Amino acid sequence: MPLVTSTEMFKKAYEGKYAIGAFNVNNMEIIQGITEAAKEVNAPLILQVSAGARKYANHTYLMKLIEAAIAETGLPICVHLDHGDTFELCKSCIDGGFTSVMIDGSHHPFEENIKLTKQVVDYAHSKGVVVEGELGRLAGIEDAVNVSEEDAAFTDPDQVEEFVQRTGVDSLAIAIGTSHGAFKFKGEPKLRFDILEEIERRLPGFPIVLHGASSVMPEYVEMINNNGGNMPGAKGVPEDMLRKAASMAVCKINIDSDLRLAMTGTIRKYFAENPSHFDPRQYLGPARTAIKELVKHKIVNVLGCDGKA
Ligand code: G3H
Ligand code: 13P
Ligand code: ZN
């Protein structure tokens, strides 16, 4: 099975009222943990690579690791650029074999966002690659962007039809109250499902993407805090809210922080219990297993895409 785009995955997910997991990858153990989980439950997958991941691990290494995962699992896998911020970066990923790119023009004014997104769509579509655009701004921190809470903005449903029609994007990321990272809500978690519903009404059948969708699973935060870490107030999106989004127009759910927490919690615990060990396989192995268990849980209990590969 060669790499695939997300077109078929989204069509089936929309109709079947479930979502595809888009998991961020940065190294071999993360790729193995995610893809072994998906194989066990026969789920389609989006593996996404940020600019930071590409800088850390190198484009060619990541592509070759993903190729190896396809050979091992036989799963339909889409390789996606997460939060591309320039045409040049998107072009480089398209030319380098990605089957999907995100151009995140959400921090630009509307007309500039349209212009940049359309430029990427024109090039991507000429190469058979699909494009995710973004309208609205999530709060939170990534390698490349740091959006404060005051600068975050919900997606305006009045803009979505024009944006999709003028850019030709294949999917749209929206802001309804999630944010990137491990500290998503100061008080009670709240998502604007009314905005999602209105967007769904205006774009019937069109796949919507939810960023910042880690649940910040308490067991891993606890594992970090109990083993020398310090993450008071870490809080994510409750899983029942993600299940609800997946049953609506949301076809792609982005998860990175949960993987980081599972990996870090497991490694911290390992060293607390085995202070004299120094073979990386001894702590990276359990970290890979933790990622695998986490991804299986997400696929089966939250996304609902098990058995859909
Ligand atoms: O949304 C951002 C992802 O979590 C990737 O983060 O830019 O630190 O690789 P990164
Ligand atoms: P989290 O930080 O909630 O995992 O979000 C990841 C994401 O949106 C990647 O684009
Ligand atoms: Zn994101």
Q: State the Cα–Cα distance between residues 8 and 305, nearest whole angstrom.
A: 13
Domain boundaries, the chain: 7-214+237-256+295-303
Percent of the chain at pLDDT > 90 equals: 94
* Span from the CA of 52 to the centroid of ligand 1 (angstroms): 7
For the residues 122-142, what does the mean pLDDT come to?
90
Q: What is the pLDDT of residue 148?
A: 63
Geometric angle at alpha carbon 113, from 18 and 118, rounded to 5° = 75
Q: Which atom of ligand 2 is nearest to the CA of 102?
A: 10
If you average pLDDT over residues 263-292, what whole number do you get?
98
What phi, psi does 83 have (nearest 5°)? 55, 50
Cα Rg of the chain, angstroms: 18
Q: Give 139's pLDDT tier (boundaries 50, 70, 90).
A: confident
- Given the residues 82, 85, 104, 256, the one annotated as active site: 82
Mutate which of 24, 25, 104 for ligand 1? The one with the most ligand atoms within 8 Å of its CB, which is 24
Contact 309, 44 (CB under 8 A): yes
Q: How far is CA 268 from CA 26, 78, 214, 235, 283, in A?
A: 19, 32, 20, 20, 9
Residue 171's nearest CA partner among 100, 108, 267 is 100
* 145 pLDDT above the threshold of 90: no
Q: Which atom of ligand 1 is nearest to the CA of 26?
A: 9
pLDDT of 19-64, one tens digit each? 999 999 999 999 999 999 999 999 999 999 999 999 999 999 999 9
Given a cut of 60, whether residue 141 has pLDDT beyond it is: no
| Residue 247 Cα to ligand 1 middle (Å) | 25
Annotation marks residue 158 as catalytic: no
Distance CA 60, CA 45 (A): 20
Q: Give the mutation target among 27, 46, 50 for probing the ligand 1 site: most ligand atoms within 8 A of CB.
A: 50
User: Which tokens hold the place of 130?
Assistant: 């699909």
pLDDT in tens, 206-216: 999 999 999 99
Beta-carbon contacts of residue 304 (< 8 Å; ≥ 6 apart): 16, 17, 18, 19, 243, 246, 247
Q: Can you read off the two tokens belonging to residue 174?
A: 């929206």
With a 6 A CB cut-off, is 24 part of the ligand 2 pocket? yes
**Cβ of 259 below 6 Å from ligand 2:** no
Pocket of ligand 1 (CB under 6 A): 24, 50, 52-53, 82-83, 142-144, 180, 256
The architecture CATH gives domain 7-214+237-256+295-303: Alpha-Beta Barrel (3.20)
Neighbours of ion ligand 3 (CB under 5 A): 211
Instruction: Work out the average pLDDT over 205-229.
Output: 98
Residues 163-182: tens digit of each pLDDT: 999 999 999 999 999 999 99
Q: What whole-number distance in Å separates Cα of residue 280 and Cα of residue 263? A: 13
Average pLDDT, the chain: 96
The answer to whether the beta carbons of residues 74 and 107 sit under 8 Å apart is: no
Report the predicted TM-score, pTM, of the whole model to 2 decimal places: 0.96
- Asked if residue 199 has pLDDT above 90, the reply is yes
Tens digits of residue pLDDT in 70-120: 999 999 999 999 999 999 999 999 999 999 999 999 999 999 999 999 999
**Span 110-123, pLDDT tens digits:** 999 999 999 999 99
How many C-beta neighbours within 10 Å does residue 240 have? 10
